[in-house]
């Protein structure tokens, strides 16, 4: 049986950030990834946005980690040569009824320590002539990032500090011991790895991984709800220089316009609650996209949208419930020594990843 200090389950952006943080503290780390490459799930099916920290309730883990992680992420990108751009974004009210909500967003951001500039339609038109709005908020700290390049840099830094990666390695069952956790992989009936600490960063599968631990208390295994979001690419040149977001909708931030580092525009995600993991795209949803986009870009022409991809958010709340915070629990919360679970790590998980990594590493110190 192989023995190690720490096992991290899941090689998405957060799992890799956790592995890096642990390795930099001198921990012996193995990252187990069920797929044949890093970041093939949630981490590769998002908007690739560096968020400023605008929308999250004050005092929440999302607010705390997004603000801390944002600044550290920009610094990391500069230091490691990860492609990114601080392009800024506009949050727009497209009718007078949305002014009150735009004001609320600005105040919530201020409480979180994020300043947003209020813009009237004439000021917006000077920057984005084709954008329709009655008012807007400008976020200069929002940016875009090459998420795969970022994950490669995280992996490289983790490996530099001694971590290792095992792809095509699916965790089956786990058993607690007095001072360690036994882990079986790839359908084995007996444990093959002994670790002092196991960090569950399995994202969409985090609850299934948690309950695979023998004796894990069921009340600490929250049901995961899946919210699929579709993305459509713009065919042709975009007239916009920065990101454009509407007023948020239940379950997400609304169908927004983002840019990649090559200047290609895409729209999404929308919110579709589903019962199982399914990345198929329904072309019929394009009709709803055209209607949503034309509220802030009336000049969008028929035939300018092409299906791109779909992503799935691991939600801890249902469609009619308030948005849930990140849920990160160790022995102190669930009583199982050596296991740290990360549940509901959706947006702003990418932006917050470095901060989450250090937070988890601090919890793991309790197991040394």
Query: What's the pLDDT tens digit per position in 93-114?
Result: 999 999 999 999 999 999 999 9
Strand partners, 259: 265
- The answer to whether position 39 is within a domain reads yes
- The answer to whether position 61 is within a domain reads no
* CB atoms inside a 10 Å sphere around CB 287: 10
pLDDT band of residue 283 (cuts 50, 70, 90) is confident
pLDDT band of residue 89 (cuts 50, 70, 90) is very high
pLDDT for position 93 = 97
- Average pLDDT rounded to a whole number, residues 1-24: 96
pLDDT for position 286 = 93
Tell me the CB-side half-sphere exposure of residue 183, using CA atoms within 13 A.
Answer: 30
Tell whether the model's pLDDT for residue 367 goes beyond 70: no
180/275 same-domain check: no
- Average pLDDT rounded to a whole number, residues 270-276: 93
pLDDT for position 366 = 81
pLDDT tens digit string along 19-62?
Answer: 999 999 999 999 999 999 999 999 999 999 999 999 999 999 99
Closest CA to 231 of 268, 256, 257: 268
Residue 20 to residues 83, 179, 266, Cα–Cα distance (Å): 20, 23, 31
pLDDT for position 249 = 77
- Average pLDDT rounded to a whole number, residues 229-248: 95
- Average pLDDT rounded to a whole number, residues 127-145: 97
Q: Taking the alpha carbons of 157, 163, 166, 171 in that order, is the dihedral positive or negative?
A: negative
pLDDT for position 104 = 95
- The answer to whether position 71 is within a domain reads no
132/185 same-domain check: no
Tell whether the model's pLDDT for residue 135 goes beyond 90: yes
Task: Provide the mean pLDDT of the chain.
Answer: 95
Residue pair 193/29 in contact (Cβ under 8 Å)? The answer is no
- The answer to whether position 81 is within a domain reads no
Token pair recorded at residue 358: 């250090």
pLDDT band of residue 178 (cuts 50, 70, 90) is confident
Residues in the chain: 368
pLDDT tens digit string along 181-223?
Answer: 999 999 988 889 999 999 999 999 999 999 999 999 999 999 9
- Average pLDDT rounded to a whole number, residues 273-300: 94
Query: Which CATH number covers residue 249?
Result: 3.30.9.10
Tell whether the model's pLDDT for residue 83 goes beyond 70: yes
Token pair recorded at residue 26: 């001198």
268/174 same-domain check: no
Beta strands, E only, 271-356: 272-274, 305-315, 327-329, 339-343
Residue pair 194/4 in contact (Cβ under 8 Å)? The answer is yes
Tell whether the model's pLDDT for residue 130 goes beyond 90: yes
Tell whether the model's pLDDT for residue 251 goes beyond 70: no
Tell whether the model's pLDDT for residue 265 goes beyond 70: yes
What total number of domains does the chain contain? 2
Residue pair 198/174 in contact (Cβ under 8 Å)? The answer is yes
Query: Distance (Å, rounded) from C-alpha 368 to C-alpha 363?
Result: 10
Tell whether the model's pLDDT for residue 327 goes beyond 70: yes
Which domain, by its residues, includes 297? 89-140+225-315
pLDDT for position 248 = 84
Tell whether the model's pLDDT for residue 252 goes beyond 80: no
- The answer to whether position 54 is within a domain reads no
49, containing H or E segment: strand 49-50
- Peptide bond between residue 135 and the one before it cis (omega within 30 degrees of 0): no
Which of 180-214 are b and which e, b meaning 16 or more Cβ less than 10 Å from the residue's Cβ? bbbbbbeeeeebebbbbbbbbbbbbbbbebbebbe
107/201 same-domain check: no
Strand partners, 166: 32
pLDDT band of residue 284 (cuts 50, 70, 90) is confident
Region of 329 please: left (phi>0), alpha (psi -120 to 50) or beta: beta
Beta strand pairing status for 265-268 and 225-234?
antiparallel
Query: Which CATH number covers residue 6?
Result: 3.50.50.60
pLDDT exceeding 90 applies to what percent of the chain? 92
Token pair recorded at residue 75: 């610094």
298/156 same-domain check: no
- The answer to whether position 80 is within a domain reads no
- The answer to whether position 11 is within a domain reads yes
241/285 same-domain check: yes
- The answer to whether position 30 is within a domain reads yes
């Amino acid at each position: 049986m192989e023995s190690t200090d720490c096992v991290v389950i899941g090689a998405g952006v957060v799992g890799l950030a956790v592995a890096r943080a642990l390795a930099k503290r001198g921990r012996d780390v193995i990252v187990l990834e069920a797929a044949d490459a890093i970041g093939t799930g949630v981490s590769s099916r998002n908007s690739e946005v560096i968020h400023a920290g605008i929308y999250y309730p004050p005092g929440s883990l999302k607010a705390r980690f997004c603000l801390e992680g944002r600044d550290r992420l920009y610094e990391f990108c500069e230091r490691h040569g990860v492609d990114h751009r601080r392009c800024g974004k506009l949050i727009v009210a497209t009718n007078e009824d949305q002014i009150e909500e735009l004001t609320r967003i600005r105040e919530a951001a201020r409480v979180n320590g994020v300043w947003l500039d209020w813009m009237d339609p004439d000021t917006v038109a000077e920057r984005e002539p084709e954008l329709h709005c009655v008012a807007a908020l400008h976020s200069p700290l929002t940016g875009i990032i090459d998420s795969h390049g970022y994950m490669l840099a995280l992996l490289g830094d983790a490996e530099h500090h001694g971590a290792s990666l095992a792809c095509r390695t699916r965790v089956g069952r786990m058993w607690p011991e007095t001072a360690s956790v036994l882990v079986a992989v790839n359908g084995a009936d007996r444990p093959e790895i002994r670790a002092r600490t196991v960090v569950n960063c399995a994202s969409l599968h985090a609850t299934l991984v948690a309950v695979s631990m023998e004796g894990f208390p069921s009340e600490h295994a929250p049901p995961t709800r899946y919210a699929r979001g579709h993305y459509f690419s713009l065919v042709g040149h975009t007239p916009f220089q920065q990101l454009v977001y509407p007023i948020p909708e239940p379950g997400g931030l609304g169908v927004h316009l983002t840019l990649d580092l090559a200047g290609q525009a895409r729209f999404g995600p929308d919110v579709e609650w589903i019962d199982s993991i399914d990345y198929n795209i329904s072309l019929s949803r394009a009709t709803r996209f055209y209607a949503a986009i034309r509220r802030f870009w009336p000049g969008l022409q028929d035939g300018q949208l092409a299906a791109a991809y779909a992503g799935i958010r691991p939600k801890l709340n249902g469609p009619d419930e308030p948005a849930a915070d990140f849920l990160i629990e160790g022995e102190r919360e669930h009583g199982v020594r050596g296991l740290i679970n990360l549940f509901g790590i959706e947006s702003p998980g990418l932006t917050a990843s470095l901060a989450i990594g250090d937070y988890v590493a601090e919890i793991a110190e309790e197991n040394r």
